[in-house]
Amino acid sequence: MLKFVKHALVTSMFALGLSAQASAIGNVNEALANICTIVQADDKGELRKKMKAVEDDFRLKLQDYYSGISCDGNSLIRTAMLNNAEEAGTLLIKKMPKSALNEPEKDGKTLQAWVSEKGLNTNPLAQVLAERI
């Protein structure tokens, strides 16, 4: 009987841990829900607040959730470039580690290769990116 109680207690604690973890993931998704809109609107102040809130509430930095966000199939920096969101894009580029800026994204292309392919070399964000890398 005692073994059964111990086993039930361990199982229920494990299940609670999994549900808390799933809840935290859901809360992060809610916290980041409108980040694409913020970047498209070039609202640097609101983007900074959003990033600070996620860091304070979930202990996540931009690099931790950057690859998990897609704005119409593009990353946040690509979205900023396509929408001429210079202030928000500059903030994103400066907050990302240099090594992450050189890594291929979901489509297998680095940011610099994508910029060249799209002909965005004259975009001010392309210049900020080139200086950062």
Residues with pLDDT less than 70, the chain = 1-26, 28, 31
The residues, any chain, with a CB within 8 Å of residue 31's CB and separated by 6 or more, are: 50, 53, 54, 57, 58
| 59/45 same-domain check | yes
The predicted structure's pLDDT at residue 122: 87
The predicted structure's pLDDT at residue 48: 92
| 66/91 same-domain check | yes
The predicted structure's pLDDT at residue 28: 67
The whole-angstrom separation of Cα 100 and Cα 61 is 13
Overall pTM > 0.75: no
| 40/68 same-domain check | yes
| 49/21 same-domain check | no
The predicted structure's pLDDT at residue 26: 55
The predicted structure's pLDDT at residue 87: 92
